[in-house]
Amino acid sequence: MSTTRQARPAGPRLPRPARRRQLLGAAQEIFVAQGYHAAAMDDIADRAGVSKPVLYQHFPGKLELYLALLDESAEELVAIVREALSSTTDNKQRVPATFRAFFDYVGTSGEAFRLVFESDLSNEPAVRARLERAMRECAEMVSQFIREDAGVGDAEARLLGMALVGMAQVSSRYWLSTDGAIGKDAAEDLLSRLAWRGISGWPMTTG
């Protein structure tokens, strides 16, 4: 008996941006659930309720679709961190704001964070470059405030900025894996106190 997929009835026509959004949403579900290598364009088209030719009209291949989704997810992370850091002028409060940004990202992004932090395609140069750029951008934003107030040089500030966002990234993912064994607010406060005690050990510049 033939197992050939039956032609999918044409759905309603959507404006191109709306169709793209629909396809990215379907792709996110498939990539998060199956990983890049196991995901198939047929599965993504089925999830979106479109024919595969419609999918290929928007994305020429699986890698291009994955990169578009990765760009979107990485930009969301950077935007959340930027908003958190600009939410206060008190650097002591910027530390918990940084952790809150990462906790919010892993908790509310529909598991899109797994594309950024747990990609099974990280050896692909285009993917690796995007992942590294997202973390560098977050670290650079944090390092600006460390550089201004802690009296350290550029290289030291960048290293400390990367250490802080790395700590926020790893700890937020671990927290999520524990199914809330510690409440979100309590976890953020615990980590913020640890980080602030370290960062505040440097003398503040007097300007």
**Token duo for residue 48:** 């979106």
- Note the pLDDT of residue 182: 92
- Note the pLDDT of residue 89: 85
8-state DSSP, 51:
-
Question: How many CA atoms, within 13 angstroms, populate the side-chain half-sphere of residue 79?
Answer: 7
- Note the pLDDT of residue 196: 83
- Note the pLDDT of residue 7: 46
CB contact set of 183 (below 8 Å; sequence gap of 6+): none
CATH for the 16-60 domain, from 3.60.40.10, 1.10.10.60, 2.140.10.10, 3.40.50.300:
1.10.10.60
CATH for the 67-199 domain, from 3.30.1300.10, 1.10.357.10, 3.20.20.150, 3.30.1360.70:
1.10.357.10
- Note the pLDDT of residue 105: 92
- Do 61 and 39 contact (CB within 8 A), yes or no? no
**Which residues does the chain have with pLDDT short of 70?**
1-12, 109, 150, 200-207
- Note the pLDDT of residue 203: 57
Domain boundaries, the chain: 16-60, 67-199
pTM: 0.81
